[in-house]
Chain A
Amino acid sequence: MLNVQSEEIVPRRWYNVVSDLPEPLPPPRSSDRDHSSIELLNSIIPREMLRQEFTFNRYETIPEEVRVQYLQIGRPTPLIRALNLEKFLGYRGKIFYKLEGATATGSHKINTAIPQAYYAAQEGIEEIVTETGAGQWGSATALAGSINNMKTTVFMVKISYEQKPARRTVMSLYNGRVIPSPSSETEFGRNILKENPSHPGSLGIAISEAVEYTIANGLRYMLGSVMNSVLTHQSIIGQEAISQLDILGESPDTLIGCVGGGSNFGGFVFPFLQSGRPIELIASTAREVPKFSKGSYEYDAIDSAGILPMLRMYTLGSKFVPEKIYAGGLRYHGAAPSLSLLVRSGRVNTDEVPEDEVIQALKIFASTQGIIAAPESGHAIASLIRYARNRDNQGKTIVLNVSGHGYLDLKIFEGRE
Chain B
Amino acid sequence: MKLVLYFTLGYPSSHSLMEFLETIPPGAVEYIELGFPSTDPKYDGPTIRRTHRHALQGFSEQSVSETVKCARGVCRKVYALRYYSDIEKDEGFLERITNIGFDGIIIPDVLTDYFHDRSGIINRVREAGLEFIPFVNPSTPDIVLGEIMSTTDSWIYYGLLPSTGIMVPYDLSSVRYRLRNAFPGRRIVLGFGIRSPDEAARVSSTGQFGIAIGTMLIEHLDSGSSREFVTSILRLKEAISSV
Contacts and interface: CB of A to CB of B under 8 A. Distances in A.
A334 B112 CA distance: 20
Interface stretch (B18-26, B56-64, B81-89, B141-149): B141-149
A20 B144 CA distance: 10
B144 A35 contact: no
A18 interface: yes
B168 A50 contact: yes
Interface residues on B, range: 20 to 34
A35 B168 contact: no
A24 B136 CA distance: 9
A24 B112 contact: yes
A25 B170 contact: no
B107 to A, nearest CB: 13
B54 to A, nearest CB: 13
Contacts, number: 94
Nearest to B109: A26
Interface string A217-228: 000000000000
Nearest to B136: A24
Interface residues of A, number: 31
Contact of B138 (A30, A34, A56): A56
A57 B141 contact: no
Q: Is the interface of B mostly helix, strand, loop or mixed?
A: loop
Given A20-B141, A24-B115, A24-B139, A36 B46 contact: yes
B133 to A, nearest CB: 16
Given A24-B111, A27-B112, A33-B49, A19 B168 contact: no
Q: Is the interface of A mostly helix, strand, loop or mixed?
A: loop
A312 B50 CA distance: 23
B113 interface: yes
A392 B143 CA distance: 33
A363 to B, nearest CB: 42
Contacts of A27: 43, 112, 137-139, 162-163
A38 interface: yes
B171 A51 contact: yes
Interface of B: 42-43, 45-46, 49-50, 53, 111-113, 115, 136-144, 161-163, 165-171, 174, 178
11 contacts: A22-B143, A24-B111, A24-B139, A24-B140, A26-B139, A29-B162, A30-B166, A50-B168, A50-B169, A55-B170, A55-B171
